[in-house]
Structure 1
């Protein structure tokens, strides 16, 4: 990761381009667990300044923080040179919590004893329905405009800064009524406090208003609305002189996914009703039952969280006997394609894990039906509980659960919950052992949390 603070925008872009050109991978967020190996900062950035950006030191535990000069030399020599004098500091390693076995009513099952971990700060420890009204809604809406603008322009660092500030402000029990109140909030410096106070006084933020009116911001927002187009591609197209969807259609070299995203642009951008999402899930359920009686299907995502509208539909497919799901994936896709229900394939993943995943586009057989995004995941029954939790979300809830598991010396994914995990920094050196998780409630219990039903995970 290259921390942009103190590094000019042109120089930052140049360094990022060269890293990719030399085969490196850029990490844009501390949330990308397990991928961060080096952090590059401006030579003048202090450790206190760095900690302010990081917020949670566990995210970079054991990761070397290096001067930009180190990266420049690596690029010049086309090799990873010794850290040596280029290392400014390294955040201390976080030792995993000791695991203590206790019975959950299942043989050989373990639960972590709650040792010196304050869970109150974790979103997963609270029901989303318990959220108080946002008494600073105007402030968070205006800051949200800037966060979206920065995200679309590939400035993930500033976008993340604003998103964190918004989350802080949403939790406040009373309206911000002074500059001093804004300035003392965790993670909010003088510059951001100035913007907050401007919103309080003026009822709007001039910078957000000005940027929103700019051609580039509007164009990048349009391009990133196409399925399969990220901020980097949007920037590239803008630099090529593309300004609208017709330009993209006639002048850009499109991937298969982007062609589909452009073809179905209006439909995929529009959220569907809960009723329509239920109809789509029912089509999958009927096809599965005809192919393999007794197979179970679960509609996840925002549908399972009880939302009135859905952006897409995620359907899990499994069989209680633990074996009948095998060999079902391709026949199911073939059946749904022959019926005309599946219209376009975006991605098919079969080999990497026990779970087989299909990402595509579907369309119901009825008048005025629209193209809709659909994911189908065929999986072993033993992974049902963690998969249900993962594909139900929300994304913020899932990140919170994974971070808590990490701090407890565990590892949580859609495949399972593992205990006794040993890490050096953010790298796993021992995967530990798999815990029995027959239900979602058992995962909460292993983490020492009160169970939250899906509708209470909409953080």
Structure 2
């Protein structure tokens, strides 16, 4: 009797992962997922090993990190449907859907080849709404104009709340998914009334769509309301609202039974200097800062800087530059046209402000950025290393009536005073700041000093919004093979820095239409 042939054993998931970990990664911005459907387990394992040996990152499981999905003998619709059926898969709109030919050509070249039309898997758009504006269908927030006032606050506010809750749980991927869903809704020219209005839109995952559908049908979401009223969410909101307290510290305090700033004040917690100042001035710092107050602080900063370094330029950034009427803090970017003159400026400015009795707290960090080490050598990040000062200003009430100062450089979008307060069909209604009865008010102020050669990048980075900046870096890495930070833009293909003195030049380098600050409210 002829013995049965032993079945060939396919390498296990854990073995393949170990192979991946042992191989050096040459292309950190690319993470490939090979679809087993119609390819087969054996061929998929062989192609995975081949890719890893060439320095590619090949993922065994689909995740938020995936950038390229490669399939063999599948249509784009088949791959999209298959991905949608898998637990944990995000929208296929977020990744490249590619034919196996792109993968084999990349293996032969030893580097990712350019993605041509013949490499892309066609996806049917038969159900896409013909009335949808073209800008709304773009995948990246940095491709879209997002106004401050919009029509879908009744949907974006619940999604933002779920994003905050995910942040408190340190689930970054889930938080970003909710923020991207909210961002796409902010671009729409009218209020969403039915689920069919969302057809053809990217960035809307199953979870977000489920929440939106429930709100449209019942007026609210059970998950959102349960989160909003949960003891943990409310406590984390309150504790992280203390200046100097991050998510991990707040979570530890919550597990120790603390629920509010007053609980912290009564406890025997050891607080650092920043947290002590934050707790001491929490009542003032929890109030909104008005544009008038921001301009009054701007006049003070302008006077201090000009007395120490004449000719320096001071620009109001952050939400106020995007046109907001109020904010949680005030950010200023300082530079000087003569490169190098700005070095060591911050300690002198802080000394001047302290001599005037205008600082309740200050913490200076010096510039630690070195272009030769921090450009191409490290991935793009939301954190920069400029010379800066995190401070709490003592703003006297008499300064509130002074005329607003004009920022000497960098377009500042005017606050939309002509618009009525927004409701569920017109955008966000911001709470108004309250005046202190003590004659002065504590205000959070960030002062940042940038070399003139980096000013354009710093201005872009410090204007926000946070998601807009994140999407800019994601676009640069995935679409242009560049590394963008608040210091520089580096072309990974050409292996050189792309210089720019204005935001417009940076957008041009990235191949993007320039979007003014007041339309970056993603």
2:177 counterpart of 1:161? yes
Number of corresponding residues: 359
SS in 2 for 1:258: helix
Residue 312 of structure 1 and its aligned partner are, at CA, apart by 1.6
Q: How far, CA to CA, are the matches of 2:93 and 2:248 in structure 1?
A: 26
- Is the aligned partner of 1:221 residue 2:237? yes
**Higher radius of gyration, 1 or 2:** 2
Q: Secondary structure at the match of 1:370?
A: strand
User: Gaps (5+ residues) in structure 1?
Assistant: 1-29, 31-36, 59-91, 99-117, 423-429
Partners of 1:273 and 1:370 lie apart in 2 by: 12
Match of 1:369 among 440, 457, 463: 440
Instruction: Verify the 8 A CA contact 2:312 2:337 in the aligned structure 1.
Output: yes
- CA deviations on 1:324-363 (whole Å, 9 max, x unpaired) are 2223222222111221222212452343458311112112
| Within-5 A mapping of 1:336-347 | 336-347=353-364
**Counterpart-to-counterpart distance in 2, 1:413 and 1:97:** 25
**Secondary structure, in 3 states, of the residue corresponding to 2:441?**
coil
Structure 1 contact 318–378 (Cα < 8 Å) conserved? yes
The match for 1:399 is 470
Q: C-alpha distance in 1, partners of 2:480/2:487?
A: 18
Where 1:128 maps in the other structure, the secondary structure is coil
1:44-123 equivalences under 5 Å are: 48-52=86-90, 56-57=94-95, 120-123=138-141
Distance 1:214 1:183, change over 3 A: farther
Matched, 1:286 2:349: no
1:125 paired with 2:156, answer no
Contact 1:97–1:408 (CA<8 Å) still a contact in 2?
no
1:297–1:317 contact (8 Å) kept in structure 2: yes
Q: In structure 1, how many angstroms separate the alpha carbons of the residues matched to 2:499 and 2:158? A: 45
Residue 291 (structure 1) shift: 1.2
For structure 2, the 5+ residue unaligned runs are 1-30, 32-56, 64-81, 97-109, 117-135, 371-384, 399-438
Are 1:236 and 2:267 an aligned pair? no
Aligned residue for 2:387?
A: 356
Instruction: Map 1:280-429; keep pairs closer than 5 Å.
Output: 280-353=297-370, 355-366=386-397, 368-406=439-477, 407-419=479-491, 421-422=492-493
Question: Given the superposition, is the C-alpha separation of residues 218 and 54 from structure 1 closer, same or farther in structure 2, using an over 3 Å criterion?
Answer: farther
Separation (CA, whole Å) in 2 of partners of 1:119 and 1:178: 18
- After TM superposition, the score normalised by the length of structure 2 is 0.60
Of stretches 353-362 and 176-185 in structure 1, the one that deviates more from structure 2 is: 176-185
Change (3 A) 1:50 1:378: same
Contact 2:94 2:139 in 1 (8 A): no
The structural deviation recorded for 1:401 is 2.4
